[in-house]
Structure 1
Amino acid sequence: MTSAPAAQFAAAPAPAAMGIYERRHPPLAAGVWGDPFLLRQHDAGTSNGAMAMQAAAASLPAAAPPPATLAEPKFESQVVALPLQPVDKDDALLQEGQRLSPDSFEHEPSRPRDKIQRRLAQNREAARKSRLRKKAYIQNLETSRMKLAHLEHEITRARQQGVYINSSSKHSSLPSPIDSGVAAFELEYAHWVDEQKKQTEDLRAAIHSGASDTHLQILVESGLDHYDKLFKSKSAAAKRDVFFVMSGVWRTPAERFFLWISGFRPSDVLAVVAPCLQEDAAAVDERQAAEVEGLRQKARHLEDALSQGMEKLKQTLADSILADAVLASGDGDGDESPPDSFSGGGGGGGDGGYMARMGSAVGRLNTLVDFIDHADHLRLETLQNMYRILGPRQAARGLLALGDYCQRLRALSSLWAARPREPA
C-alpha cells in the first residue's frame, strides 16, 4: 500500500505548474500568508495526505479546472514577488548607465562652473566700465573747473586793464561792472572753441578712416552751422557792447593780431584751404579751381569795400571830434563847451550844440554793429560757397584745415604767454 501511492505520486506531474497561468486572481501582499516556500516545505515533509490530494487532482482531465486550495494564494503571492527582482536590476542598470554616461560625466558638472565663470566675467567687465565712466566724469569736472578758473582770471585781468570804464562819471577811473550779455558771450565762445576742437578731430578721424561722402557731408554741414551760431552770438553781444566785440579781447593775442572787423578775413579762409586742395589735385577739376579763385577775388573786393566803409566812419568821427576840439580851444573864455556858432544856430546855447554833435557821433558808432554783421555774413557766405563748389570730401579737408589754423593761432598765444621772461 505504501509503494503504490509513492509510485503514483512520483509519476504524477509537478503541481507547481497549476494555477499560475490558468487562474487569475487579484495579487495579494507578500506578507499576508507568510513565506510560501517555508510553508510548502513544511507541508511536503509532514503531511502525506496533502500530497495524495495533489496527485489525485493532477490525474483529472486538463479541461476541468482544479478546485481552489489554500496553497494557491501562496503561489500568487510568489508571482507578485518574483518579478520585482529583474525590475530592480533594470533600474539599477539604468541608474548606473546614467551615472557613467560620458555626456553626464563630462558636461553636467561643467555647466554650473561655466555659468559661474561667465557671470564673474560679466561682473568684472561691468565694474571696469563703471570705473572708466567715473574716471571720465571726474576728468570732465576737473576740466570744467580749470576752464572756469581761466575765465575768471581773464575777466579779472580785463577789469584791471581798464577795458570796462565807467563813462558816466568824469572823475571815476574804476572799472564798471561787466555787462551780463558780454559775460555770457565770453562763456559761449569758450564752449564754442571746445566744440570746434571736437568737430575738427571728428573730421580728421573720418577722413583718415575713409568714411562715406554722406557721413562727411553731415560733418561739414554741422561745422558750418557751428560757425553760424558764433556769428549770431557775436551780433547779439555787439548790440550790448560794440567796442568789446571790435576790440577782440575775448580772443587770444595771436588771433587779435590777424583780426579784421572782429573776425578772420574770408579771403584768408580760401588761402588756408588752397594748399589742401592742391594736395588732392586729382579730385579737383579745372572748373572747381576756377570757381574757387573767382570766389577768392570776390571776397577780396567785398573786404575792401567794408574796409573803406570803416575808414570813412573813422574819418567822420575824427572830424567831428577835432572840430569840437578846435572850436573849444579857440574860445577865449576857457569854457569847456563849444561856442554858439558850433550848433549852427545864430544865438543858441553852446552846450546844446556840443551835445547835438556828440549825439550824432554816438549815432554813427551804432553803425559799427552793421559792419560786424556784414563781415560775419561775408564769412559765412564764403564758407557756404566753398562747400557748394567742392565735393563733400574736399570741403571736409578745407574745413579741417581751417580748424587746424585756428587751433595753431591759439597754441601760439599760449606759447607766447608761457615764454621765459627776464626779471625786471
Structure 2
Amino acid sequence: MASTSTSQTPSNIISPYYENWLIQLQYFLEKLNAISSSYGGDDEEENRSNELVTQVLDHYQDYYREKFNSTNRDVFLLVSPPWYTSLEKTFLWIAGFKPSTLFPTINYSIGSELTTEQCENLKRLKAETKREEKVIEKGMAKVQEKVAAPPIFELMKRGGTVVDGEASELESVIDGMKHSMMSMVETAEHLRGSTVKNILDILRQKQAVKLLAAVAQFHLQARKLGLQMDIQSAKRINEDFIN
C-alpha cells in the first residue's frame, strides 16, 4: 500500500516552533520580572541575573538561527514571515526589529534610572545606530530598484509570460537580487546584534533585566493583539462574502 505524506513547507516547520518559542519567552518574562522586583544587588543575585540575561539573549539567538535554517535562507520568507500576524509584520525592518527602536524602549522602561554618563553614551550609540540604519536602507532601496529593470519589468508588462530564451536570464536576475537582499539582511542582523551588545555594555545589571523584560512584554503583546486583529479581520471578510 502506498503511503501518503504531507510536504512540509518552511512555514509549517517554523510556526509550531515559534509558538513554543513564545511560550518560553513568557516564562523568561516572568523570571525577569521576579528578579527585577526583588533585586538587591548582592553577589548571588548579580550572578543569577547575569545568567538569566544570557539565557534570554540565547533564546532570541535560537529563534534567529531557526528562522534562517527552516526557511533555507529564503530571503522572501524572511522579510515577510507567513508565521507572523499582520501586526507583527508592521514592526519588521529588513527581516527583524529596527535597532533604533530599542532606545525609546530604554526611555520608558529605565529612563529615570540612567546616570548622566549613561545617557550620553546611549545618545552617541543611538546616533551611530541611525547612521548605519540609513546606509542599510539605501542598500536595500538599490536592490529593490532592480525590480523595475529589464528583464523583470518587461516580464511584468506582458503579464508574467516568459518567452523563449528569457527563463535563464530572468532566473539569473532574480538569484542576483535574492543574493543582494540576503546580504542586506545579514548586515541588518549584525547591526541588531551589535546594538544590543553595546546597549547592555552601557547598562547596569538590574537595568538590563528591566529592559529585556520590556522588550519581551512588547513582543508578546504584539503577538496577542495581532492574533485578535487577524481573527476579527477574517470574520469581517467571511461576513462580507456571505452577505
For Structure 1 versus Structure 2, the TM-score category normalised by the shorter chain is: 0.7 to 0.9
2:13 maps to 1:184: yes
Equivalent residue for 1:359, pick from 134, 157, 171: 171
CA contact (8 A) 1:267 1:299 kept: yes
Partners of 1:358 and 1:184 in 2: how far apart? 29
Partners of 2:162 and 2:60 in 1: how far apart? 47
Equivalent residue for 1:297, pick from 127, 136, 142: 127
Partners of 2:53 and 2:103 in 1: how far apart? 16
Equivalent residue for 1:224, pick from 44, 57, 66: 57
Q: Relative to 1, partners in 2 of residues 1:205 and 1:195: Cα closer, same or farther, differing over 3 Å?
A: same
The structure whose RCO (Cα within 8 Å, separation 6+) is larger is 2
2:142 maps to 1:309: no
Q: Relative to 1, partners in 2 of residues 1:400 and 1:231: Cα closer, same or farther, differing over 3 Å?
A: same
Q: Which residues of 2 match residues 238-249 of structure 1 at below 5 A?
A: 238-249=71-82
Task: Name the TM-score, length of structure 2 as normaliser.
Answer: 0.82
Q: CA offsets per residue over residues 119-157 of structure 1, 9 Å max, x none?
A: xxxxxxxxxxxxxxxxxxxxxxxxxxxxxxxxxxxxxxx
Partners of 2:80 and 2:167 in 1: how far apart? 26
Partners of 1:192 and 1:371 in 2: how far apart? 26
Partners of 1:381 and 1:255 in 2: how far apart? 23
Partners of 2:24 and 2:76 in 1: how far apart? 26
Q: Relative to 1, partners in 2 of residues 1:237 and 1:261: Cα closer, same or farther, differing over 3 Å?
A: farther
Residue of structure 1 in register with 2:191 after alignment: 378
Give the alignment's Cα RMSD to 1 decimal: 2.5
Equivalent residue for 1:409, pick from 208, 215, 222: 222
Q: Relative to 1, partners in 2 of residues 1:387 and 1:325: Cα closer, same or farther, differing over 3 Å?
A: closer
CA-CA distance at 1:336 after TM superposition:
5.7
CA-CA distance at 1:366 after TM superposition:
2.9
Q: Which residues of 2 match residues 59-138 of structure 1 at below 5 A?
A: none
CA-CA distance at 1:177 after TM superposition:
4.4
Runs of 5+ in structure 1 lacking a partner?
1-175, 330-334, 338-350
Report the identity percentage. Answer: 24
Partners of 1:407 and 1:377 in 2: how far apart? 24
2:212 maps to 1:387: no
CA-CA distance at 1:373 after TM superposition:
2.2
Large movers: runs of 4+ above 6 Å: none
CA contact (8 A) 1:248 1:259 kept: no
Residue of structure 2 in register with 1:205 after alignment: 34
Q: Relative to 1, partners in 2 of residues 1:182 and 1:416: Cα closer, same or farther, differing over 3 Å?
A: closer
Q: Which has the higher helix share?
A: 2
CA contact (8 A) 1:276 1:398 kept: yes
CA contact (8 A) 1:276 1:397 kept: yes
Q: Rg: which structure is higher?
A: 1
Give the residue type in structure 2 aligned to 1:308.
K
Give the residue type in structure 1 aligned to 2:13.
A
Residue of structure 2 in register with 1:322 after alignment: 153
CA contact (8 A) 2:39 2:206 kept: no
CA-CA distance at 1:391 after TM superposition:
1.0
Partners of 1:416 and 1:316 in 2: how far apart? 34
Partners of 2:66 and 2:186 in 1: how far apart? 11
Runs of 5+ in structure 2 lacking a partner?
1-5
Q: Relative to 1, partners in 2 of residues 1:195 and 1:319: Cα closer, same or farther, differing over 3 Å?
A: same
Give the residue type in structure 1 aligned to 2:125.
L
Q: Which residues of 2 match residues 148-297 of structure 1 at below 5 A?
A: 177-179=7-9, 181-211=10-40, 212-280=45-113, 284-297=114-127
Query: SS state of the match for residue 260, structure 1?
Result: coil
